[in-house]
A and B are shown apart, each in its own frame.
Chain A
Amino acid sequence: SQQGEEDPQALSIQEGENATMNCSYKTSINNLQWYRQNSGRGLVHLILIRSNEREKHSGRLRVTLDTSKKSSSLLITASRAADTASYFCATDETGNTGKLIFGQGTTLQVKP
């Protein structure tokens, strides 16, 4: 079963602009992770944020987590054409086996 729902499903921006993707989930979690998938490199882990964290940064990436609203957002600043990919949030549910449940993904196109 899919846990996360990403919004928007597709996003098209110009190089240099910022891109924001949102993820909503249904149950309590231990952590939430973001992954990127493109045809060249497959699925790659971007960032992990734990349930007791509210914000995390990694290079041009900024992730926020609001457990009261069961939502997370991924911000990519100063986007590049190479950021063109699908982005997935994945949740590690509390009390589960540690497996990840992925959302449907947001497809990002960055135009040069």
Chain B
Amino acid sequence: EAGVAQSPRYKIIEKRQSVAFWCNPISGHATLYWYQQILGQGPKLLIQFQNNGVVDDSQLPKDRFSAERLKGVDSTLKIQPAKLEDSAVYLCASSLGSGSYEQYFGPGTRLTVT
């Protein structure tokens, strides 16, 4: 079974530039999550999708971050404009459902904002 795919793996941009991350979840997984992990901390949920609908985006900085999951499969996360404090690893995860299901994580995208 193929795992969660993410691209790019690394990205370096200057502040105020824009960046987009892509995620392809495990086939058949209805729930998709985007997390931000700052060095030395645990992952923090940014947004949770159930199929192509948003379930939770309470911690997404909506003035600069946006995410979509078209057709309930792939997802993109965009930051525009980026700030220095956005430097982190962005993790995508998927699960069969939400709640009592294990989440499968992709390798992440390491973003450096200079």
Contacts and interface: CB of A to CB of B under 8 A. Distances in A.
Interface of A: 1-2, 4, 30-31, 33, 42-45, 48, 50, 88, 90, 92, 97-105
Main secondary structure of the interface of A (DSSP, over half): strand
A45 to B, nearest CB: 4
B105 A97 contact: no
A48 B33 contact: no
A104 B42 contact: yes
B46 to A, nearest CB: 10
Contacts of A33: 102-103
A79 to B, nearest CB: 22
B98 A97 contact: yes
B24 interface: no
A97 B100 contact: no
A31 B41 CA distance: 21
Main secondary structure of the interface of B (DSSP, over half): loop
A31 to B, nearest CB: 5
B45 A42 contact: no
Contacts of B103: 33, 45, 100
B48 interface: yes
A31 B98 CA distance: 12
B48 A99 contact: yes
B1 to A, nearest CB: 14
Contacts of A102: 35, 42-44
A44 B106 CA distance: 9
A42 B99 contact: no
B75 interface: no
A73 B12 CA distance: 38
Nearest to A105: B42
Contacts of A31: 99-100
Q: Which 4 A-B pairs have the closest CB atoms?
A: A98-B98, A102-B42, A98-B99, A43-B105
A103 B40 CA distance: 11
Contact of A97 (B43, B56, B102): B56
B25 interface: no
